[in-house]
């Protein structure tokens, strides 16, 4: 569409002298109307724009000529695009007490953030999908702490980058396979939680501690039966494109296997994570919990998840999401942590004041050390983090979400208490 628009602007001077041949206003009207569509469809261009250009050149505009002239260089008719822009503003009292040497001063000021996302989906057979996500963002310092990480934080210094890229395809009737250079483990799971965070990424996936997050080379499969039973297994390796090599002895990788049972109104699942040199479980963890790993660099984690949906929305009975995690360090050194645990509870009330609104309330104990090999060489804190929000839609394509959040002993000291507020607005297109 961008190429078509640019071409029309170059043709405009000629069209002004040949208005009896080309109706420029109709072409401009076409261009404006098409910008509202998220479908990148070659046939649309063939039917209208190509006809006007062909008339200008004196070419045959019959159906066969249109196909010959445009089909080879057009977008696939099975490619679609959608996207969203997200703005937020807020502040965090207590952020200056948090210890992150990578972040500068002034973390308790009012800070803003934004992300812009484009999702491209292409099918070649009707059952497969090539997914590409382009994303740009810029965020204030206070939205980058693991304890205050905004759910939409993505700091690319305003550059639009390839953020996700993978291909999924069916293997038989019940198996979906995934492979790609930019993917995360949880995109290959059966959805483990239905709680949508209002502001903090720590509440994602029913407690974003044991699952962790890292985008890199990955592959896996998901087997789902008609009766609700499912198995998913996948691996992501941060060093698949480095000298350490894919699944090498020195590589940083995580192999997750999930068993799940899902009905229309409830879900139960258990996920085992076998991690090698992996410390990305920091979105919901204390300093000791995030750094925990055995002398070999390996850990084994288990995540239990469940949710329940009431029969009717708009009542005082909420949707409930729960999670419990335990992580074990392989061959922990003397005095070092060998076990850490976390839990999360999320409640959601829908359609309370208007259609499609949400009231969310959640709390979590971030991943903290609960057992050491012998006497612990460091003292752990007793952390708790919570959030509450209300989300509503002024129209079908826009959501406004004011939220408050807080926590006690969130990092490594009893002085690490936080309280914050944020207003987030999402525009979908």
Residue 47 has pLDDT above 60, yes or no: no
Last-in-domain residue among 73, 106, 128: 73
Q: Give the pLDDT confidence of 119-148 residue by residue, as tens digits.
A: 999 999 999 999 999 999 999 989 988 889
pLDDT band at residue 75 under the 50/70/90 scheme: low
Q: Give yes or no for a contact between 321 and 194, defined as CB atoms under 8 angstroms apart.
A: yes
Strand-pair partners of 340:
327, 369
Q: What percent of the chain has pLDDT over 90?
A: 63
How sure is the predictor about 61, in pLDDT bands with cuts at 50, 70 and 90? very low
318 has pLDDT over 70? yes
Residues 241 and 290 both lie in one domain: yes
55, 338, 352, 363 from 343: Cα distances, Å? 67, 18, 27, 9
pLDDT value at residue 242: 84
Q: Is there a single domain that holds both residue 19 and residue 60? A: yes
Q: Which DSSP helix (H) or strand (E) runs through 16?
A: helix 2-17
Output the pLDDT for position 367.
Answer: 94
Residue 374, beta-bridge partner list? none
Cα Rg, the chain, nearest whole Å: 25
Enter the tokens of residue 324: 């419990």
pLDDT for the residue 74: 53
The residue among 335 and 350 whose pLDDT is bigger is: 350
| pLDDT tens per residue across span 238-279 | 988 888 888 888 888 999 999 999 999 999 999 999 998 886
Which tens digit of pLDDT belongs to each residue from 402-424?
Answer: 999 999 999 888 778 999 999 99
- Domain boundary residue, one of 56, 73, 90: 73
Distance CA 45, CA 1 (A): 8
Range of the domain at 19: 2-73
Take residue 352 and report the two structure tokens written for it: 């309370």
Write out the two tokens for 311: 């029969």
Same domain, 156 and 247: yes
Cα–Cα distance, 270 to 231 (Å, whole number):
10
pLDDT of residue 209: 85
At 57 the pLDDT is 44
CATH number at residue 88: 2.40.160.10
- Helix/strand/coil percentages in the chain, nearest 5: 15, 45, 40
What tokens does 183 get? Answer: 């993917």
The reply to whether 69 and 87 lie within a common domain is no
167 and 69 within one domain: no
Total number of domains constituting the chain: 2
- pLDDT at position 161, please? 96
Report how far residue 20's alpha carbon sits from residue 36's, in angstroms, rounded to the nearest whole number: 29
Q: What is the mean pLDDT of residues 96-109?
A: 67
- Quick one: how far is CA 371 from the chain centroid? 32
- Identify which has the larger pLDDT, 165 or 15: 165
Strand ranges (DSSP E) for 160-244?
161-171, 175-183, 216-224, 229-237
Q: Which two tokens stand for residue 107?
A: 């973390």
Q: Are residues 59 and 181 in the same domain?
A: no
The pLDDT tens digits for 355-396 are 999 999 999 999 999 999 999 988 999 999 999 999 999 999
Q: Are residues 69 and 90 in the same domain?
A: no
Of 12-21, 290-299, 416-425, highest mean pLDDT: 416-425
């Amino acid at each position: 569409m961008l190429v078509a628009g640019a071409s029309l602007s170059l043709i405009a001077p000629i069209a002004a002298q040949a208005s009896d041949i080309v109706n420029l206003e109709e072409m401009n009207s076409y261009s404006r109307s098409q910008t509202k569509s998220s479908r990148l469809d070659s046939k649309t261009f063939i039917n209208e724009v190509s006809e006007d250009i062909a008339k200008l050149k004196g070419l045959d505009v019959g159906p066969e000529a249109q196909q010959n002239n445009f089909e080879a260089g057009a977008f696939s008719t099975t490619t679609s695009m959608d996207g969203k822009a997200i703005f937020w503003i807020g502040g965090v009292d207590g952020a200056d007490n948090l210890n992150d040497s990578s972040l500068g001063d002034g973390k308790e000021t009012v800070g803003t953030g934004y992300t812009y996302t484009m999702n491209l989906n292409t099918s070649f057979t009707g059952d497969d999908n090539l997914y590409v996500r382009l994303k740009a963002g810029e965020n204030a310092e206070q939205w980058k702490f693991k304890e205050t990480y905004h759910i939409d934080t993505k700091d690319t210094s305003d550059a639009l980058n390839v953020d996700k890229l993978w291909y999924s395809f069916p293997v038989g009737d019940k198996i979906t396979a995934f492979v790609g250079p930019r993917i995360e483990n949880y995109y290959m799971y059966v959805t483990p939680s239905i709680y949508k965070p209002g502001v903090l990424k720590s509440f994602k996936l029913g407690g974003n501690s044991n699952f962790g997050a890292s985008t890199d080379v990955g592959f896996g499969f998901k087997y789902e039966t008609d009766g609700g039973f499912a198995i998913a297994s996948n691996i992501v390796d941060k060093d698949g494109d480095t000298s350490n090599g894919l699944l090498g002895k020195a590589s940083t990788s995580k192999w997750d296997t999930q068993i799940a049972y899902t009905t229309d109104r409830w879900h139960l699942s258990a996920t085992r994570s076998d991690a090698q040199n992996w410390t990305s479980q920091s979105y919901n963890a204390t300093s000791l919990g995030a750094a925990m790993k055995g002398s070999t660099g390996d850990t084994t984690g288990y995540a239990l998840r469940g949710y329940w949906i009431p029969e009717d929305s708009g009542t005082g009975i909420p949707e409930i999401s729960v999670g419990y995690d335990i992580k074990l360090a392989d061959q922990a050194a003397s005095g070092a942590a060998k076990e850490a645990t976390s839990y999360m509870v999320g409640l959601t009330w829908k359609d309370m004041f208007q259609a499609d609104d949400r009231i969310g309330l959640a709390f979590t104990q971030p991943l903290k050390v609960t057992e050491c090999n012998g006497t612990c060489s460091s003292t752990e804190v007793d952390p708790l983090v919570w959030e509450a929000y209300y989300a509503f839609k002024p129209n079908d394509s826009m959501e406004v979400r004011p939220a408050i959040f807080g926590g006690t002993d969130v990092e490594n000291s009893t002085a690490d208490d936080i309280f914050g507020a944020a207003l987030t607005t999402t525009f979908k297109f």
